[in-house]
Structure 1
């Protein structure tokens, strides 16, 4: 029990203020609470299972630059989809959600955002120190600690959703995803430049950022035309 509590609170504290909490707040305008909770819980269980049972094998076989690039593309995709809109009224009239695999979308986004994060390093460390005989306790403790911290992000997001104008929350979501996307892409370019082949990091980042900005403007214009 003492080991469980130690792992739980260590993981909980490590996750507080992390980017994935902000990401969950940004996801609240797009998906239902149950979809976010289900997708997040599944991603946490899988990630911590990999961390505890497989140790550092994931980061050893998958290049860091590839992880960062995939995460950046996921963030930018959600930012662009926030601008494009989801046609919520049409979905409600039809009696079912347009996004049939919302938990899977949340799972993939959370998985990529959390992969290689400090909480994963914490789980790997506990798994290595305690050994396979305590793997189940480490897995459950890490998973519950991480989920407890992230669920705060979910409820904060839904509280903001009910208390603030929808347009303001969508703008916040767009900003969060865009900043995470551009910064993560910058990290990926740096890893490519230092570990794969020398490339101009800042020119590449500027090109991607400008292209993303143009895409968002086009999506915004198209959405406004639909409204009119």
Structure 2
């Protein structure tokens, strides 16, 4: 349960202000929100299952070095904070592709999200979490966290148009990563 709750919170925060949220809002202007959310869920579950597998393999290979893994994970989270501050933007070309996608909504949205998430900070954060936490909780939690953040973006996009307080979201997410990173480093160094 701890792995589920931690992963849900971390990935939800990681997804705030991410390009995937912008994609979700864009797809929701063309397709039904329900179809967009179903496609995001399927693509996310697949990517995060692979991420968890990678994380578990890394964690098992270095099980004698848990302190070091915690410190490296903490440093990674500080990097995610910097990445969040740098921000992600959906280019005009990407937005146009999202709007003009042909084919069924589930395939178009699912395929786009699958490809967009490969190597993204949420994938890397999921790998990082899976090095230390239970794989199933991390998988389900990371999927729920990402889908919840993207569903929030869709709802906010519908309610608020495109007037989201981007700076507040960006700084809040970065601050949360700094806190998680500092806690992991402190744990790995034996200070907690």
Superposition RMSD in Å: 2.9
Deviations 1:29-66 (A, max 9, x none): 21111210111010110010010013499xxxxxxxxx
The answer to whether 1:102 aligns with 2:105 is yes
* CA–CA distance in structure 1, aligned partners of residues 98 and 8 of structure 2: 35
1:15 positional shift: 0.9
Alignment of 1:32-111 (within 5 A): 32-55=32-55, 76=93, 79=96, 82=99, 101-111=104-114
Indicate conservation of the 8 Å contact 2:48/2:123, yes or no: yes
Indicate conservation of the 8 Å contact 2:56/2:135, yes or no: no
Deviations 1:117-154 (A, max 9, x none): 11111110111223xxx211110111111111111111
Unpaired stretches in structure 1, ≥5 consecutive residues: 58-74, 87-98, 162-168, 170-228
Unpaired stretches in structure 2, ≥5 consecutive residues: 58-91, 163-192
Q: Which has the higher contact order (CA 8 A, sep 6+)?
A: 2
Indicate conservation of the 8 Å contact 1:48/1:142, yes or no: yes
* CA–CA distance in structure 1, aligned partners of residues 93 and 112 of structure 2: 11
* CA–CA distance in structure 1, aligned partners of residues 124 and 103 of structure 2: 33
How many positions carry a matched residue from both structures? Answer: 130
The answer to whether 1:121 aligns with 2:124 is yes
TM-score by length of 1: 0.50
TM-score by length of 2: 0.59
Q: Which has the larger radius of gyration?
A: 1
The answer to whether 1:154 aligns with 2:154 is yes
1:77 positional shift: 6.6
1:160 positional shift: 5.1
* CA–CA distance in structure 2, aligned partners of residues 154 and 102 of structure 1: 15
* CA–CA distance in structure 2, aligned partners of residues 37 and 81 of structure 1: 15
* CA–CA distance in structure 2, aligned partners of residues 47 and 53 of structure 1: 10
